[in-house]
């Protein structure tokens, strides 16, 4: 459903040497619905073999967001209605697009100038070049709604430097544009006021090499002072061990991480950590299949997902009631069964 009755939610066009894709749900921060996912698939299928298209440029409309993620409120509605087929279709088709981007035979240029979370990262992270500005804000905030990092990020996150990917997966930490470059989720830092000129150069030349003319050295990462602690604590393999290591740090930053983690769904945290550890040893295709299987169990067979979306997105700011209520109560065997 678009923001107006007349405008398409994906505007696909041929401009010069480029195929251009504009996500066009600005009031919804360009959140992905199934119709948009299907338009992405059409573009991938059409432009991959078309020799006149030298690259693809992906943007978000409205000035506030690239893409805030998948339309999880709709997914929750499907789950409440017991509509497993619609949930399955959404995730299966979204993950097929992620795979299609990863294997796209040409540059896939993501111009991230605003919020980019969840499904938005899935549209940008699998193919380069990935451009961020000072207005970019990237995150994988799924544990707050009792989901897990998906859209192929179970492959990407464990391959980021040190334990940065695990930290991002569990805490949903927000990265500014410069942070995203240092973390490995973006390739180039371009000031927002240069994006229009960069886009014009890409359209004219069809050469991603022109990005070098516009890119600047990003500022130091905001998390640079905590990198060693991130690796020490988030490199561990169980949630209780991570919490104990954070407590042992005895710093304000570590205490903040504990506070954040204690707000998240305990089941989601444990499942996400297991997913990241398994993803480190898997291919992208295997990760996408694993995410699809985990999603079936999380969305349909565990109460936390509906509760998480309700508390964060429906009754905004409500305190969720998780089951079980604490990390210490989570049964590791039950987590293992969620992957079956």
Distance CA 155, CA 159 (A): 7
User: Would the pLDDT of 330 be above 60?
Assistant: yes
pLDDT for 3:
54
Query: 0.75 cut: is pTM over it?
Result: yes
Contact in structure between 310 and 249 (CB atoms under 8 Å): no
- Cβ partners under 8 Å of residue 79, min gap 6: 87, 299, 300, 305, 306
325 C-beta neighbours (distance < 10 Å), count: 11
In the structure, what pLDDT confidence band is assigned to residue 317 with cuts at 50, 70 and 90? confident
Residue 142 falls in the annotated catalytic set: yes
pLDDT per residue over 94-138, tens digit each? 999 999 999 999 999 999 999 999 999 999 999 999 999 999 999
Phi-psi region of 184 (alpha: psi -120 to 50; beta: other; left: phi over 0): left
pLDDT for 265:
97
Q: Show the domain range for 73.
A: 1-340
Mean pLDDT of 187-200: 98
In the structure, what pLDDT confidence band is assigned to residue 150 with cuts at 50, 70 and 90? very high
pLDDT per residue over 213-247, tens digit each? 999 999 999 999 999 999 999 999 999 999 999 99
In DSSP terms, which residues pair with 253 in a beta bridge?
none
Residue 120 falls in the annotated catalytic set: no
Residue 340 falls in the annotated catalytic set: no
Percent of the chain with pLDDT over 70: 99
pLDDT per residue over 254-312, tens digit each? 999 999 999 999 999 999 999 999 999 999 999 999 999 999 999 998 999 999 999 99
The count of domains in the chain is 1
In the structure, what pLDDT confidence band is assigned to residue 2 with cuts at 50, 70 and 90? very low
pLDDT for 229:
98
Choose the catalytic residue: 142, 179, 304, 307.
142
Looking up residue 114, the CATH number of its domain turns out to be 3.90.226.10
Q: 73 vs 284, which has greater pLDDT?
A: 284
Choose the catalytic residue: 19, 70, 114, 295.
70
Could you tell me the CA-to-CA distances from 139 to 113, 118, 120, 170, 179 in Å, in that order? 14, 7, 9, 11, 11
- Cβ partners under 8 Å of residue 192, min gap 6: 113, 133, 134, 135
Choose the catalytic residue: 60, 119, 165, 172.
119
Choose the catalytic residue: 150, 179, 291, 307.
150
Residue 150 falls in the annotated catalytic set: yes
């Amino acid at each position: 459903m678009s923001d107006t009755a007349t405008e398409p939610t994906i505007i696909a066009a041929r401009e010069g040497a480029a195929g251009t894709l504009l996500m066009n749900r600005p009031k919804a921060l360009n959140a992905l619905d199934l119709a948009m996912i299907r338009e992405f698939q059409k573009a991938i299928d059409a432009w991959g073999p078309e020799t006149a298209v030298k690259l693809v440029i992906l943007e978000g409309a409205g000035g506030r967001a690239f893409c805030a993620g998948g339309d999880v409120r709709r997914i929750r509605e499907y789950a409440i209605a017991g509509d497993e087929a619609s949930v399955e279709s959404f995730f299966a088709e979204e993950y097929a697009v992620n795979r299609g981007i990863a294997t796209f035979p040409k540059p896939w240029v993501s111009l991230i100038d605003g919020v980019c979370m969840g499904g938005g990262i899935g549209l940008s992270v699998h193919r380069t070049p990935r451009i961020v500005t000072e207005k970019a804000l990237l995150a994988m905030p799924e544990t707050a709604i009792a989901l897990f990092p998906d859209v192929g990020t179970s492959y990407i996150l464990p391959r980021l430097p040190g334990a940065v990917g695990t930290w991002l997966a569990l805490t949903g930490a927000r990265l500014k544009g410069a942070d995203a470059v240092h973390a490995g989720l973006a390739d180039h830092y371009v000031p927002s006021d240069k994006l229009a000129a960069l886009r014009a150069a890409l359209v004219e030349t069809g050469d991603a090499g022109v990005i070098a003319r516009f890119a600047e050295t990003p500022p130091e990462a905001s998390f640079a002072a905590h990198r060693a602690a991130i690796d020490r604590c988030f490199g561990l393999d169980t949630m209780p061990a991570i919490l104990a290591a954070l407590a042992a740090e005895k710093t304000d930053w570590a205490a903040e991480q504990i506070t954040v983690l204690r707000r998240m769904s305990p089941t989601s945290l444990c499942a996400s950590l297991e997913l990241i550890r398994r993803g480190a040893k898997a291919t992208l295709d295997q990760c996408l299949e694993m995410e699809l299987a985990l999603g079936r169990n999380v969305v349909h067979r565990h109460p936390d997902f509906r509760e998480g979306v309700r508390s964060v997105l429906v009754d905004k700011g409500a305190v969720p009631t998780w089951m079980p209520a604490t990390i210490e109560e989570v049964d590791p065997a039950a987590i293992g069964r969620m992957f079956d």
